[in-house]
A and B are shown apart, each in its own frame.
Chain A
Amino acid sequence: MTQRTLGITILALLFLGAVAIPFTGNGYILSLFYTSALFTGLAYGWNIISGYAGYLSFGQITFFGIGAYIVAIGTTRFHAPWYLCALVAGVFCAALAVPMGWLMLRLKGPFFALGMLGLAQSLRISTDLIPWTGGADGIYLPPGSNGVQVYYWTLAVLILAIVLTATIDRNAFGLRLRALREDERAAGTLGVDTTTTKVKAFILSAIIPALLGGGYAWYLTYVEPSSIYSTEIELQTVAMAILGGMGTLWGPFVGGILMSQISQALSTKFPQTHLMIFGALVVALLLALPRGIVPTVVDKLQGKRKPPEPEPAPLAQTEVVT
């Protein structure tokens, strides 16, 4: 069995396993898998703009929150089915991401990161000012919430995100993204339309959390600013993606799944201090494996790098006449 067939088999088994979970009838296990799928999906969404494009964002929760609120409002005010609202949320956030990305992506590095953080904070604070959101009181969604439905929805979005990332990882768009991540100026003078490319990445990174947020609202059956625009969710998403390996195909997967389990285990064992331990773990792992788990493991598996090549032969063509 070749490596590729083995990989596909494992993925297929995982997929089947994931799909079968609701049939166990165990609510606790379902919630465990739901949370893992949710965070892994969020990590994939974050990974596109932050990992591949190199624009670290601490505010992707913005789209997550908007998605949640659109579902909340859509199901209560318009009596629309929740998944339809979630799709609308996806489209809405994609459209929103165009002007937002065009504006915000002018900022570099820490400025962009904090700018996005500021955006998320602003939205949380200003929920009171936006009509229909129920302000600080929040919105109670109509009954009929089915954890299983949301789980499958989230799983579907996760798979979509993985397929999307797999495509980006080896196509022209992805190469342009990585080029502008490494050196935006040089990419420009080599013909890469950096503005359009990074805005596209921003759009993709907006759609995924929007769809996931929509599902989350239906899962919680209640939305209010601080639990939806949650710092903790943002922190965990970022932590999982970077620890797994930013800018890689399987980094968010490993980070998401692994860190979800650790996070769950910690919160059960150490209910008071789990956040602190997780935070310390994040710092420790960042120092030990700065590039994340996946790249480090891949490097180890490929063995030591060959020593640098000796000087190349002279460039042929015309010799300078002395």
Chain B
Amino acid sequence: MHLELVVQLVINGLLLGGVFALAALGLNIIFGVTRIVNLAHGQLIILTALICSTLFQRFNITPLEVLPLAVIAGMGVGTVLERTLLRRLPEHQQTAETTSLLITFGVSYFLIGLSLAIFTGDFRSVGYLTSSWTIGGVDIAKAQFLAFALALFLAAILAVLLRSTPVGRALRAASQNVDGARACGIDIDQMRTLSFTLGIGIAAAAGCLLSMIYAYNPDTGSQFTLIAFSIVVLGGRGSYAGSVLGAALLGLAVSFVGFYGNTHLGSMMPYVVFILVLLFRPQGILGKAVA
């Protein structure tokens, strides 16, 4: 009996991790290349989820049907965001970090307002794919599994892209050493835009899937930004495999602590993990040590 319970918790944890990983991957790409912490990331995910919930409620369009369009829209938004708002950053590294933090903060503020205006403060969810498969006494929630599968798929594609394609290699170079990459003739500005395009596109995909898994309202955005960043830090900045691993671990932590302790304690895990990792192992699990 107990084993079944543990297995269930593990499954839940891993599936939760898949959901988290989706949120984190997009943020990681952006942060890896540009060192910009997109404070509006979670908000964009939630906005997509809210749109999905309205489309489902009004027109019975499922989030899965919305997904491809959402990704394209997300890519568009990401490109526009980077080009218009984050282009002219001051040279001084620290001021640039502060300025970009403040600008994405402003964007997040705007998006909260926008979401509240359009969707009100009510909590919503999409009641689609809410059932689970039961295999050998263990329940596997369908929507979560889809998110998990998509996260793995995206991470794998990203890994291939980054290793084998010229664009991917350029992106990696830009994230590791800006000046060196520039010296090799890589157009850094293009790489920055690309990172945002990809990052927000993935965020949109995450939003579609999350719309079926959680209940959310416009204020939930910052929670997701934090969870995403927690994973980026846990897995190691710039390491996409690390994000997946970190997401899995975090998912397991939330699942187990949430069950054996308390749901509230469970929801606090991302923050606890975040702070612990930053204080005791800042490079994360798979990241390189900071000099």
Contacts and interface: CB of A to CB of B under 8 A. Distances in A.
A275 B264 contact: no
B226 A114 contact: yes
B97 A118 contact: no
Given A109-B97, A279-B112, A115 B102 contact: no
Interface in A235-283: 235, 238-239, 242, 272-280, 282-283
A276 B279 contact: no
A231 B43 CA distance: 13
B155 to A, nearest CB: 23
B226 A273 contact: no
Interface stretch (B16-24, B178-186, B187-195, B265-273): B265-273
Contacts of A133: none
A122 interface: yes
A279 B106 contact: yes
User: What's the dominant secondary structure at chain B's contact region?
Assistant: helix
Interface residues of A, number: 42
Given A113-B101, A286-B102, A287-B103, A118 B113 contact: no
A247 B210 CA distance: 40
Given A126-B268, A290-B99, A282 B117 contact: no
A129 B110 contact: no
Contact of A276 (B101, B102, B116, B225): B116
A279 B267 contact: no
Contact of B113 (A122, A182, A279): A279
Interface string A94-130: 0000000001101101110111011101100110110
A216 interface: no
A119 B110 contact: no
Given A117-B222, A122-B268, A129-B262, A276 B105 contact: no
A279 B274 contact: no
Given A113-B101, A118-B275, A276 B114 contact: yes
A103 B225 CA distance: 22
A126 B109 CA distance: 24
Contact of A282 (B109, B225, B262): B109
B233 interface: yes
A54 B95 CA distance: 10
Interface residues of B, number: 43
A82 interface: no
Contacts of A115: 274-275, 278
A242 B99 CA distance: 10
B223 to A, nearest CB: 7
B57 interface: no
Given A56-B101, A117-B226, A129 B112 contact: no
B219 interface: yes
B222 A287 contact: no
Contacts of A280: 110, 113
A148 to B, nearest CB: 32
Contacts of A275: 109, 112-113, 116-117
A58 interface: yes
Contact of B110 (A106, A231, A279): A279
B157 interface: no
Given A115-B278, A276-B116, A239 B265 contact: no
Contact of A279 (B102, B109, B226, B275): B109
A283 B105 CA distance: 8
B284 to A, nearest CB: 12
A283 B103 contact: yes
A128 B275 CA distance: 21
Interface string B224-244: 011001100100000000000
A125 B268 contact: yes
Contacts of B102: 56, 242, 286
B271 A121 contact: yes
A282 B264 contact: no
A121 B109 contact: no
Nearest to A234: B222
A110 B113 contact: no
Contact of A239 (B37, B109, B116): B109
A125 B278 CA distance: 21
B94 interface: yes
Contacts of A273: 113, 117
B85 interface: yes
Nearest to B262: A129
A121 B272 CA distance: 11
17 contacts: A103-B275, A114-B229, A121-B222, A121-B226, A125-B267, A126-B264, A129-B264, A239-B106, A242-B102, A272-B117, A275-B112, A276-B110, A279-B108, A279-B112, A282-B105, A287-B85, A290-B90
Interface of B: 37, 39, 85, 90, 94, 97-99, 101-103, 105-114, 116-117, 219, 222-223, 225-226, 229-230, 233, 262, 264-265, 267-268, 270-272, 274-275, 278-279
